[in-house]
Amino acid sequence: MADIARLTEVIEPEAKALGFDLVRVAMIPSEAGDGGMALQVMAEDPATGQLVIDQCAALSRRVSDAIDALEESGEVLVEGAYHLEVSSPGIDRPLTRTKDFANWAGHEAKISMDRAWDGQRTLRGNLVGIEGDMVTIEDRKAGTVSLPRNMIHSAKLVLTDALIAATQPLDTSGADELVETEEKADD
């Protein structure tokens, strides 16, 4: 296993050194299909809320170097083999920090609780925001529900037209050069 708190202590200064905010550090099953694990690092440029590929690569190098240096000195941060995955949080981003619940208020979210709260374990609806340590959501079934943040297992935005409209792409160069063609059906 891996100590996520310790990994975060190592990774966050590397992200900050590049001017990025750390969104999430997690160990997840690898998408490589090899049954292994992946150390997932999500970060964002505060100016854009995203990372482009060059920024992901720079952060990946720094994180890899920092982990390698600690492991060479004898500290084992992750037991066994793993893949390092560095990415932008994406449009349907996870909500992990207090500011995420404030910044994305007004958008649809899905929240899963550690255990049932007011009879529900999963809530989905309009994110109202956060006050203190209480996250409020206008759930489709239960109405307005306030949840203690420390009992939230996971939370993420739901991909909607409104969210897409609110999230501007970083780089649209070349988009005006796209040419649509009609495909002919084979006879």
Strands (E) located in 30-119: 37-44, 82-87, 108-117
- Whose tokens are 């099953």? That residue is 29
Q: Is residue 157 part of a domain?
A: yes
Provide the number of structural domains found in the chain.
2
Q: H-helix or E-strand containing 5?
A: helix 4-17
- Which among 138, 129, 26, 128 is positioned nearest to 83, based on CA atoms? 26
- Whose tokens are 């609780």? That residue is 113
Q: Is residue 178 part of a domain?
A: no
CATH for 123: 2.30.30.180
Residue predicted with more confidence, 33 or 10: 10
Say if residue 104 is in the same domain as residue 52.
no
Q: Which of the four pLDDT bands, split at 50, 70 and 90, describes residue 181?
A: low
Q: Is residue 82 part of a domain?
A: yes
Q: Is residue 139 part of a domain?
A: yes
pLDDT over threshold 70, residue 185: no
Measured CA to CA, the distance from residue 146 to residue 50 in angstroms comes to: 29
Say if residue 48 is in the same domain as residue 102.
no
For 27-63, what is each residue's pLDDT tens digit? Answer: 998 776 676 889 999 999 999 889 999 999 999 999 9
Say if residue 152 is in the same domain as residue 132.
yes
Q: Is residue 19 part of a domain?
A: yes
Reported as half-sphere exposure (CB side, CA atoms, 13 A), residue 45 has a value of: 13
Kindly report the backbone phi and psi dihedral angles of residue 131, in degrees, each rounded to the nearest multiple of 5, phi listed first.
-135, 115
Kindly report the backbone phi and psi dihedral angles of residue 63, in degrees, each rounded to the nearest multiple of 5, phi listed first.
-65, -45
For 102-129, what is each residue's pLDDT tens digit? Answer: 999 999 999 999 988 878 899 999 999 9
- Looking at residue 164, its pLDDT comes to 86
Q: Is residue 102 part of a domain?
A: yes
- Which among 170, 92, 89, 169 is positioned nearest to 127, based on CA atoms? 92
Q: Is residue 41 part of a domain?
A: yes
Q: Which of the four pLDDT bands, split at 50, 70 and 90, describes residue 165?
A: confident
Q: Which residues does 158 contact at the CB level (< 8 Å), separation at least 6?
A: 92, 107, 108, 109, 110, 124
Number of CB atoms found within 10 A of residue 156's CB: 18
pLDDT over threshold 90, residue 89: yes
Chain mean pLDDT for the chain? 89
CATH for 41: 3.30.300.70
Contact, 40 vs 87, CB < 8 A?
A: yes
Please give the residue range of the domain that contains residue 129.
98-166
